Structures are given as structure tokens and as C-alpha cells.
Structure 1
């Protein structure tokens, strides 16, 4: 019974913790699913439950060459 109470307490404490490892991934695991995309991300599709698949925008690699 003590083990059950201990495990219940641990699970209740960990439930609200947000960890990127447990977030839903998309676009061959390069993107993330969320309600909105950040400034440095672009929308590439939709995930389950109507969430947006957001992928970080990669710089084009062009530099200022003089």
C-alpha cells in the first residue's frame, strides 16, 4: 500500500511537467506539434487533434561576402 501511495504521488507531481521528449513530433521528427508556431518556425502541416506542425526555419546559408 505504501508503494502505491508513493507511485501515485510521484505521478501526480510529474503530470504537469512539460518535457519536449513527450511532445508529439511531426515531419519525420524534425518538427513539433503545437497550438501555434513561434517566430523562428514555419507551418508545414497539421498534426492529430488539429494542432499545427511547426519546423524551425533554417538560415539559407548565404553570408555577406565582400
Structure 2
């Protein structure tokens, strides 16, 4: 029984750290965490609290890096 309680406590305290990882991944992809993506955005990853990481679509042939 002690083992079960220990595992529950470890998983309970690691959950917020895992969720923050997803938000950081979204921001590195230049995305935003929203409830739903707009027409000019695509879903590129997941965020915490059931949010979607949305990134604005770029028109064909246009690259932000080569302005």
C-alpha cells in the first residue's frame, strides 16, 4: 500500500512539469495556445489544459527567414 501511495505522489507532482513542457514546445514553434485554431492557422502541437498549439500558415513561396 505504501508503494501505491508513493507512486501516486510522484506522478501527481510530475504532472505540472510535464504540462509546462508542452507549452514551451509550442512557443519554440512560434505558436500560441488556444481553444481552437482559426482558418489561417494550423494545429502543430498540444498544450496543457486541452489547448491546441496554433501556428499561422504562411503563403506558398514566402519564407520569414529570407525576407
Q: Please, what TM-score do these two structures have when normalized by structure 1? A: 0.50
Q: Please, what TM-score do these two structures have when normalized by structure 2? A: 0.50
Structure 2 residue runs of 5 or longer lacking an equivalent are 1-22, 63-67
CA distance in 2, matches of 1:27, 1:43: 13
User: Which structure features the higher share of strand residues?
Assistant: 1
Provide the aligned length of Structure 1 versus Structure 2.
39
Could you list the runs of 4 or more consecutive aligned residues of structure 1 that deviate by over 4 angstroms after TM superposition?
none
Which of the two has higher C-alpha Rg? 1
CA distance in 2, matches of 1:41, 1:29: 13
